[in-house]
Structure 1
């Protein structure tokens, strides 16, 4: 049971905290242990000792996606212990200084690099929660070097932390770890959904997996570079798309809202409204709903989207050509899912010659020459609906994850300052 109290508080540098709490330096709560210095010559294959680095700390967890192993004698390094807190104390990116994670049983006995530090003490379950709050990061930013993105062990030991009695620490840590577990479970579910959707996208867009009502036989043919079912076609975009160009002549005193497209297939965004006078002689076009739209400058970076009625009365520049599918031959959502896929992104890159960045512009003639695999219009629609169900599941999972993270953040602010007490 949690209880909110209005009295029995004392003033500190952190604001009012319960009178039973203390403000202590980290150096009084445990010890700071330095990491292993090694050279590139010491790096070896997986037969060596794994050295935990900044890249092994992701979202407050120890991860093993990017590992380095070194040759080091047994006893020649400080081994991490279960429940140590691994802290990044030096990094080229200032924003990464201070990120941390609790050492798991899986990581016990590993080494850690010289740009990392271990904090070891009996209050680590509680301190780990504090190390993910503004209380901790304010101390980090106060002590960052002026020219080097680092904090040293002496500074770390001077960090001041509000500390409740041990029984209350344990209750606080237990409550917050419940949210941590729920967050981690939802992250795993989200990751699994995204992996499954990626695999299913590849399979249904190639005809490897088909819906029973469209399956005539299991024969696959090689058609113009695609291995697809016999009853599918490979068609140039020029045969199934019509470019839409509704030119707009801006009126001097009228307001116009422009749209843009985010890279990485993240959809449309809206810009602030501007006057026709500020547009000057700029070539702009009225947005037509139900079109495939691409940013020709960043097509290679997956800047694609579809327009809807929400964009009516808005405008785009000539860098955002719009294409309307021929309704009897091509489903817009199928087309969008195809170009969201790796194969679609690769094709956009091929149609965007030149160097990196703004010199790598999509050639609109080259775009219309691109060939894509097409099942019947009804099968296209079925594929799009199927993939949309995965998108919805992923969206709902992200919303649940964000809700859990916000709940934990709010609870931390209350519990770790004593605004809410455990009883």
Structure 2
């Protein structure tokens, strides 16, 4: 897979050459680059009908891949009132709200469906290749122009008239437009394959967690039975109150939901903090959010966060006996659905967003533990899986960044592709 900006041999395309300025390129407003008037779709779709006409909403564009079977369906009568918005192959749909500027290119599978109020249909005129326009609308330069047309504060939106005014540039010849689109499509395919690999690895890790952390899958060298233990027998609460100093700079940490781990929230001087009560977290502490644990807000303190401060809304626990419980193993246990359920049982309140964790009740609940040797083996396997996924995600991020730079060069004419005559 090509992963640099050296495009001399990209999928058999002709050699790329650099020019100072694209004097043979055209610049025009988007409203004049289309064969049909840019417009948004159905304002009120009415009842969701099983046999109705599928409609694209802004929310459907967020995931990139559209599942036609999950689209809301309007009546044929309502759809016909907006017949000019029924999508054809090669049309581009554009998010006017939400993730403004998100675009999807319509293929045979989505042809014939309609759109709703938050989505605009863009149909390229014959002089502009639809695939090229699809990429042009994603280019950094065009995105910056789109941002200038956005209205609103809390609910941001780009009006149709503002979208029409966005200036795009394109090579005069369709052959060059198609060559540019083909190069960028090659990169998209590489990115898609890498994303699919990451998804597969994540699915495998999830399966491994469920099997290894519940004893359903064992290593050959371990045969002893797992022991049922109460949390109160393996965990103890620790508290390290901070000696207050208004002139001291405190590094504050919080815990993300969904087992997302710790993060450095901010650094404040003592005089900037209203509640003069902080506690020191040490590497190896397992932090539990009293108000957010139901949503997976818990995590192990790593060396990166050693010595940083937490508020009184967190509970810190460590192993009573390190020879019985490895805290990294416990951290992996905390990511299981069963652990989430246990924290729910140990919480009280009338609404899930307002429930409070009762640590004493939690300590009465039980889990199953293997020997510490088996715990470490499980931790090493899961850590290796995590590291592999992290490395792939870094590669994906780098690839996307490289594609962004390539788009900027190709879609502004800084780098030219010889057109085939």
Tell me if both proteins adopt one fold, taking TM over 0.5 as the criterion: yes
Q: Residues 323 and 418 of structure 1: is their aligned pair in 2 closer, same or farther, counting only changes over 3 Å?
A: same
Write out per-residue CA displacement over residues 257-299 of structure 1, whole angstroms, 9 at most, x where no aligned residue: 3322222222222244444555688333332221211222221
Partner of 1:268: 262
Bigger relative contact order, structure 1 or 2 (CA pairs below 8 A, ≥6 apart): 2
Partner of 2:215: 207
Q: Is the 8 A contact 2:38 2:120 kept in 1?
A: yes
Q: Name which of 43, 51, 57 aligns with 2:48.
A: 43
User: For 1:58 and 1:314, how far apart are their aligned partners in 2?
Assistant: 36
Q: Residues 182 and 64 of structure 1: is their aligned pair in 2 closer, same or farther, counting only changes over 3 Å?
A: farther
CA RMSD after TM alignment? 3.0
Q: Name which of 375, 378, 387 aligns with 2:373.
A: 378
Deviation at residue 335 of structure 1 after TM alignment: 0.8
Deviation at residue 146 of structure 1 after TM alignment: 5.7
User: For 1:136 and 1:263, how far apart are their aligned partners in 2?
Assistant: 35
Q: Which moved more, 1:238-247 or 1:77-86?
A: 77-86
**Residue aligned with 2:356, SS:** coil
Partner of 2:413: 418
Is 2:137 aligned against 1:131?
yes
Superposition TM-score, scaled by structure 2 size: 0.83
Deviation at residue 73 of structure 1 after TM alignment: 6.7
Partner of 1:291: 285
Deviation at residue 150 of structure 1 after TM alignment: 4.9
Partner of 1:98: 101
Deviation at residue 397 of structure 1 after TM alignment: 1.7
Structure 2 unaligned segments of length 5 or more: list them.
Answer: 1-7, 9-15
Q: Residues 252 and 380 of structure 1: is their aligned pair in 2 closer, same or farther, counting only changes over 3 Å?
A: same
How many residue pairs were aligned?
394
User: For 1:310 and 1:114, how far apart are their aligned partners in 2?
Assistant: 47
Deviation at residue 114 of structure 1 after TM alignment: 4.4
Q: Residues 75 and 314 of structure 1: is their aligned pair in 2 closer, same or farther, counting only changes over 3 Å?
A: closer
Q: Is the 8 A contact 1:131 1:137 kept in 2?
A: yes
Q: Name which of 23, 30, 40 aligns with 1:26.
A: 30
User: For 2:315 and 2:365, how far apart are their aligned partners in 1?
Assistant: 16
User: For 1:185 and 1:58, how far apart are their aligned partners in 2?
Assistant: 19
1:128-207 paired onto structure 2 within 5 Å: 128-144=134-150, 150-151=157-158, 153=160, 155-165=162-172, 166-207=174-215
Partner of 1:13: none
User: For 1:183 and 1:105, how far apart are their aligned partners in 2?
Assistant: 22
Is 2:397 aligned against 1:389?
no
Q: Name which of 116, 119, 124 aligns with 1:116.
A: 119
Deviation at residue 35 of structure 1 after TM alignment: 6.3
Partner of 1:83: 90
Deviation at residue 318 of structure 1 after TM alignment: 2.6
Partner of 1:3: 17
Q: Residues 310 and 154 of structure 1: is their aligned pair in 2 closer, same or farther, counting only changes over 3 Å?
A: closer
User: For 1:83 and 1:284, how far apart are their aligned partners in 2?
Assistant: 58
Q: Residues 210 and 49 of structure 1: is their aligned pair in 2 closer, same or farther, counting only changes over 3 Å?
A: farther
Structure 1 unaligned segments of length 5 or more: list them.
Answer: 10-17, 217-230
**Residue aligned with 1:198, SS:** helix
Deviation at residue 41 of structure 1 after TM alignment: 4.8
Write out per-residue CA displacement over residues 95-117 of structure 1, whole angstroms, 9 at most, x where no aligned residue: 43332110123222333334433
Superposition TM-score, scaled by structure 1 size: 0.82
Deviation at residue 410 of structure 1 after TM alignment: 1.0
Is 2:297 aligned against 1:303?
yes
Q: Is the 8 A contact 1:82 1:104 kept in 2?
A: yes
Partner of 1:223: none
Q: Residues 144 and 287 of structure 1: is their aligned pair in 2 closer, same or farther, counting only changes over 3 Å?
A: closer
User: For 2:257 and 2:365, how far apart are their aligned partners in 1?
Assistant: 20
Q: Is the 8 A contact 1:179 1:408 kept in 2?
A: yes
